[in-house]
Structure 1
Amino acid sequence: MKGEKWPRYSLLGRLGRRTQETLLGLGTPVGYEAHQRIIRQGDSARHTLLVLKGLVKIVVDTERGRDVVLAVRGPGDLLGEMATLERRPRSAHVIACVPVEGRVIHSPDLNDFLEHNTEACLAMARVLSERLRGSDRRGIDAMVCPAPVRVARTLLEVTRRWGETGTTGRIGIPLSQKDIASLAGTGLSSVEKAFKLLEEAGALDRRYRQVFITDLSCLRRFGELPDEIPY
């Protein structure tokens, strides 16, 4: 993985080369199949996972029996670090969306790495700050934006970070409509209505269990955004 270019929003993407190599040298390599549960909510935090390939979703079991998708993470991201640092049980499940490769880093090794590396501590603080800012923004949108706008903004976020461009130029989204509904804080019926409007406008195309973004500028207008998404 040396010399790999990591997404700039990820932890690895915020680190210099030497610090990247030190972090990549920790732990042991692991692999997971699509839909496999990697971290279980409520378990003791004995390790973190550094994602090298693939995508995962962060899911919480609520007291009302409904699963809520909080976020999607991918290459360069560190998972489970909050429970490790706080020495508290896991606050969410981590489930593989596609096959995942990574490194399992035991908690004492991560703590030792952070205690001796200011750059990594600052980078992790920036990652957590960005996540908090995005969470705040979603809370505001939930109060002031109609469901179709929230759906469009969620699609933009997922596309920007995790979409895969095919040979036809269409960008595939690695999440189900149920996942999109959860991320957007709305119901599945609202997502279906928003998707129908976006399809009619030429912003997306649907196939069996697949969604493709075909016009980002149209999607951005639908989300009432002039340029950058707020998350």
Structure 2
Amino acid sequence: MSGEGAGALAGAGGAGSKEPSAGEVLLFLFTRKAGVSEDQFRDHYLGVHAPMSVAHSTATGRYVVRLVEGGHGPLPLDAVTEIHTESVDAFVDPAKGWDSAENWKAVIDDAASFLDGFHMYRVSREILVPAETATQPPGAVAGAAEAAAGAVGARGRSPGVVLARLFLTDDTGEEAADEPDGPDAIPGAVRYRVLDTLSPGAPPLHAVDLVTLPDATAARYRPNTYLLGEYVQKWPKEVR
């Protein structure tokens, strides 16, 4: 993780309808350090870093790691992580959102051991296309994912695949991201629109679209799209 990233963490229904939320949503874009393989990155993130964060953060609600398994887009990328929190201010404050300053520092130091890019954004989360028209409604996907998590543990891979599209500010794609019913829209897609960039020097991200599909068939695979595997680390009911 870059020094800027650590500093930021230290101080930092229908189409287009917003989903109800009890708090705030953070989106992280991660890239691994040079010399760290994809397997090493996955094993350390899921086996060490995420469990450590869940164990010591008192401000983390839903925590979902999505690892890049293929595809490409405008940025080098190894993971897109989503964290729900009652308060961003508490989440980034070791005195308010962590069980101790020492454990918070241990999490930061661990991140620095395997992450290079560490970019944090506060986002809104909204439905891009009505889920009812999806071939596999998000409710069914979520139910399957929860059942899988219960069977293999919170760090098990959820069924299906997640397609992700990133839109950068001032990019030609920004206009497309502001048209929820455009020709590229996929039923069941969710949009994360950037409200605040919390990491100095972070890429100028405008929005991220995610959609969960049963599989990445050729007919559904799209250019400028990342293919992600989802690993739920914590469900909302686990908030302490």
Which of the pair has the greater relative contact order for Cα pairs under 8 Å at 6+ separation?
2
TM-score, length-scaled by structure 1 = 0.27
Greater percentage in helix? 1
Tell which structure's C-alpha radius of gyration is larger.
1
By percentage of residues, which structure has more strand? 2
TM-score, normalization: structure 2? 0.26
